[in-house]
Amino acid sequence: MVRSSLLLAAFAAIATVHAATKCDLDNHCPESQPCCSQYGDCGKGAYCLGGCDPLSSFGLDSCVPAPVCQDKTYTFKDMTGITSKTKYLGDPSKTDWVMDGSAVPYKNSLLLTMAPSTVGTVLATSRYMWYGNVKAKFKTGRGKGVVTAFILLSDVKDEIDYEYVGVDLKTAQTNYYYQGITNYKEGGNISLSDTFNNYHEYEIRWTPDSITWLVDGQVGRTKLRKDTWNATSNQWAFPQTPARVQISIWPGGLASNAQGTIDWAGGVIDWSGPDIQANGYYYAQFESVSVECFNADNAPGTNKKTSYTYNNKAGTNDTVVDGDKPTILKSLLGTGTDMNANYADSGSSSADPSASSGVAVIPGLDGAGPGTDGHPDASGSTTSSGDGQDGSGTAADAADSTETGFSQGLETNPSGAVAGKTWSVVAAVVAGGVVLGMGLL
Ligand SMILES: *[C@@H]1O[C@H](CO)[C@@H](O)[C@H](O)[C@H]1NC(C)=O
Ligand SMILES: *[C@@H]1O[C@H](CO)[C@@H](O)[C@H](O)[C@H]1NC(C)=O
Ligand SMILES: *[C@@H]1O[C@H](CO)[C@@H](O)[C@H](O)[C@H]1NC(C)=O
């Protein structure tokens, strides 16, 4: 496992920031920390980059424009092209994947790891895919509560999933969501041979009219857009906005999670199971990911220019602009409306960005997990984690967070849309002295 004391310093720095401000569709971020991260916390810098939700941010233009799709096959021979989220500033020519957690190159593949007291690892592409075809070849993790995922997630929380629970190595669970609205009736399973011991090639073919999930070239499931009409909202409840590819391993079976999540994940994680004893972590093994853009001549689904932005809070495909806006921040003090913000003494930027700004600039180790899938318990309730200070806890709340870990619960606002998930993590990391090495610092 890669360890880095620098990283610990980075998390310690984050831990000194003020309590995070939460955000959702009804509670936008304030102007002083305008960007709503994927997990529903306000800040600048990395909060404004990949995953920043324009519909819950201060303004539609608070998030940094999202790099457009590019055809590319990513092979994981080493850590080339993978950048820690603490270093990424939005340049897709230098970074293919932004990482949260710890990965280990192993035999021409990459192990995404989940060590005890961590929430696992997620890699997200720097670029966004607006329809297209994506394939990933991997072996899942195994064990109670261990979840592996390969998903597409847009900034307005359209989502297309493959998920695997480590107690059922014969099933790929598929799902999709429109703007984060939880609807647990849309899941579908694909039966397979042992997903831990065998590589399979999982594929998502996504067009404006359909989603097809294929495994090893065989169609496992198809969902047509025409079958997704929502008469209440007068909309197609169909994923339609540019999305990042995310691959991850995460602890659905964390003892502090909602019971429904734990049950779905196959039970509470055994942090002394065989994989932990042998390697020190649970892991999922990724060999490659290949993206083919939809490459339309006209919207929707183009990738002709530099970046995607939204011009309307509807957040639908006809509000996406494929335009020329730049995607790169000068520093982690920047936002979509202040791309060139920088530290007075730029030399200090890498030392302790949060301390010198007083504003959260790197979301807490948000964990891996998919965007929407909260798996509420039988009563239909969901939970959110305790203190609402994800990524911003002080050393004093570290002990709390060690107990609460993170919650994969959802916060559902009155309109029924999901506001985002809460993960209390950084403090736990700091408290436990467990370093989630990023390997790239
Ligand atoms: C998919 O399989 C899991 C068990 O692995 C089960 O809990 C779930 O209900 C199945 N979903 C569907 C839609 O059949
Ligand atoms: C239809 O849209 C309404 C309003 O947004 C939402 O509350 C409801 O959950 C949607 N129904 C489904 C099945 O997605
Ligand atoms: C957006 O997608 C819908 C289907 O979801 C389609 O009918 C419509 O033409 C699309 N709008 C644009 C501008 O492409």
User: Sign of the CA dihedral 169, 171, 172, 174?
Assistant: negative
Average pLDDT of the chain, as a whole number: 81
Atom 6 in ligand 3: residue holding the nearest Cα? 208
Strands 97-100 and 82-84, bridge-based pairing: parallel
Ligand 1 in contact with 303 (CB < 6 A)?
Answer: no
Q: Which residues contact 331 (CB under 8 A, 6 or more apart)?
A: 45, 89, 341, 342, 343, 346, 349, 353
Residue among 48, 93, 109, 73 nearest 359 (CA): 48
Helix, strand, coil percentages (3-state) for the chain, rounded to 5, are 15, 30, 55
Q: What is the pLDDT of residue 415?
A: 27
Q: What is the pLDDT of residue 345?
A: 66
Q: Measure the CA–CA gap between 358 and 5, rounded to whole angstroms.
A: 23
Q: What is the pLDDT of residue 27?
A: 97
The more confident residue out of 358 and 57 is: 57
Q: Hey, where are the domains in the chain?
A: 67-293
Ligand with minimal distance to 238 CA: 3
**Residue 441 binned pLDDT confidence (cut-offs 50, 70, 90):** very low
Ligand with minimal distance to 209 CA: 3
Residue to mutate (ligand 3; options 317, 319, 320, 322; most atoms within 8 A of CB)? 317
Atom 5 in ligand 3: residue holding the nearest Cα? 236
Lowest mean pLDDT among 106-120, 177-191, 281-295, 367-381: 367-381
| Cα 70 to ligand 3 centroid, rounded to whole Å | 22
Q: Which listed CATH number (3.40.50.1010, 1.10.3720.10, 2.40.50.150, 2.60.120.200) goes with 67-293? A: 2.60.120.200
**Residue 5 binned pLDDT confidence (cut-offs 50, 70, 90):** very low
Ligand 1 in contact with 195 (CB < 6 A)?
Answer: no
Residues with active-site annotation: 159, 163
Ligand 3 in contact with 131 (CB < 6 A)?
Answer: no
What tokens does 228 get? 């997704």
Q: What is the pLDDT of residues 27-36, one digit of tens each?
A: 999 999 999 9
Ligand 1 in contact with 168 (CB < 6 A)?
Answer: yes
The more confident residue out of 355 and 146 is: 146
- φ and ψ at 13, to 5 degrees? -65, -45
Q: What is the pLDDT of residue 214?
A: 98
DSSP state of 69: P
Q: What is the pLDDT of residue 346?
A: 52
The pLDDT of 78-87, averaged and rounded, is: 96
Q: What is the pLDDT of residue 381?
A: 34
Q: Measure the CA–CA gap between 347 and 199, rounded to whole angstroms.
A: 45
The more confident residue out of 184 and 296 is: 296
**Residue 171 binned pLDDT confidence (cut-offs 50, 70, 90):** very high
Q: What is the pLDDT of residue 359?
A: 82
Q: What is the pLDDT of residues 131-141, one digit of tens each?
A: 999 999 999 99
DSSP state of 184: G
- Residue listed under structure tokens 């579908």: 188
| Cα 318 to ligand 3 centroid, rounded to whole Å | 6
* pLDDT over 70, % of the chain: 75
| Cα 350 to ligand 1 centroid, rounded to whole Å | 46
Ligand 1 in contact with 187 (CB < 6 A)?
Answer: yes
**Residue 118 binned pLDDT confidence (cut-offs 50, 70, 90):** very high
The pLDDT of 223-252, averaged and rounded, is: 96
Ligand 2 in contact with 186 (CB < 6 A)?
Answer: no
Ligand 2 in contact with 232 (CB < 6 A)?
Answer: yes
Lowest mean pLDDT among 9-18, 29-38, 232-241: 9-18
Ligand 1, closest atom to CA 264?
A: 7
Q: What is the pLDDT of residue 8?
A: 34
Q: Is the pLDDT of residue 203 over 60?
A: yes
* pLDDT over 90, % of the chain: 71
**Residue 364 binned pLDDT confidence (cut-offs 50, 70, 90):** low
